[in-house]
Amino acid sequence: MNVLVTGAAGFIGSALSLRLLNDGHRVWGIDNLNDYYDVNLKKDRLARLSGYPDFKFIFLDLADRPNMAKLFEDNAFDCVVNLAAQAGVRYSIENPASYVDANLVGFGNILEGCRHGGVKHLVFASSSSVYGLNTHMPFSVRHNVDHPVSLYAASKKANELMAHTYSYLYSLPTTGLRFFTVYGPWGRPDMALFLFTKAMLADEPVKVFNNGEMKRDFTYIDDIVEGVVRVMNNIPEPDPAWNGKTPVPSSSCVPYRIYNIGNNEPVALMDFVRAIEDALGKKAKIDYLPMQAGDVPATWADVDDLIADTGFKPETSVQQGIQNFVDWYKAYYS
């Protein structure tokens, strides 16, 4: 296939691009290489892809409407995987404008490009953050998600609504993926595993919020990539059982689906810290802090629909995933 991957210099985007290239696909990767975190890390991720003749990198911002339109006019994409976004729950409180530009305006440009470009399938990143104030565990794609607690979460919920509209109006097949706390080698420096590892190696305190009373459904990067690939090849069709009187949020009478991709096994934050201690062979100094605005105490993914439709369930253990990350971190920063 000819595949457009947005956010190709990002954590998930670069890993997916590498997998697609190794599978024999042609990949166009776009990224604006913003400085939300270390640009050199992004460039090094891209360097892993540059040796592939079927990879083409385009420096481009999703919010650049004229050049986004030209990208779709000049190329014929079979599938688009939109992973570009302004990430981070806490940063959305500090800099809301960047979320409007990247996650709303930028996604609108993606939808328009797919519509006019005859794209066969748009797969896009949503987030477990959309569950917001929901407390019914595990989080199911069949639950309503109308109470986000951060602008980041609201922007991802908006993406799901925007995609459904284009599926309805233009019969564009769209699939949204709610990722649950992705981690692993080449990960984001603003995520807990990266921050904790860096602090522990420097003998600095690890900042643990909500006094450690948190649980997360940590999902290893290879499992995320496998899930995305399975979904790419599973183009949605209208659900004949869907009923507007009792609407199921995760499907529709149009070609639209929503899936969770998570490990289906929430891990207590302090157990996560202990697994890092085991991988590093040293104890952490803990700085217990209150809950931060926009955060939630727990996440837990129900992946029954993903398993039923793709036959895949993430299975990498946190212990193995953390060890793989620590090995990469020590080599990369040596």
The yes-or-no answer on residue 152 being catalytic is: yes
Contacts of 109 (CB under 8 A, 6+ apart): 62, 63, 64, 65, 68, 69
Provide the 10 A C-beta neighbour count for residue 85. Answer: 25
Contacts of 294 (CB under 8 A, 6+ apart): 89, 90, 92, 93, 149, 150, 152, 153
Provide the 10 A C-beta neighbour count for residue 296. Answer: 21
Contacts of 66 (CB under 8 A, 6+ apart): none
In the set 131, 152, 166, 256, the catalytic residue is 152
Q: CA 50 → CA 18, 21, 53, 161, distances in Å?
A: 10, 11, 8, 35
- Rounded to whole angstroms, the Cα distance separating 45 from 50 reads 9
Provide the 10 A C-beta neighbour count for residue 283. Answer: 10
The catalytic site residues sit at 152
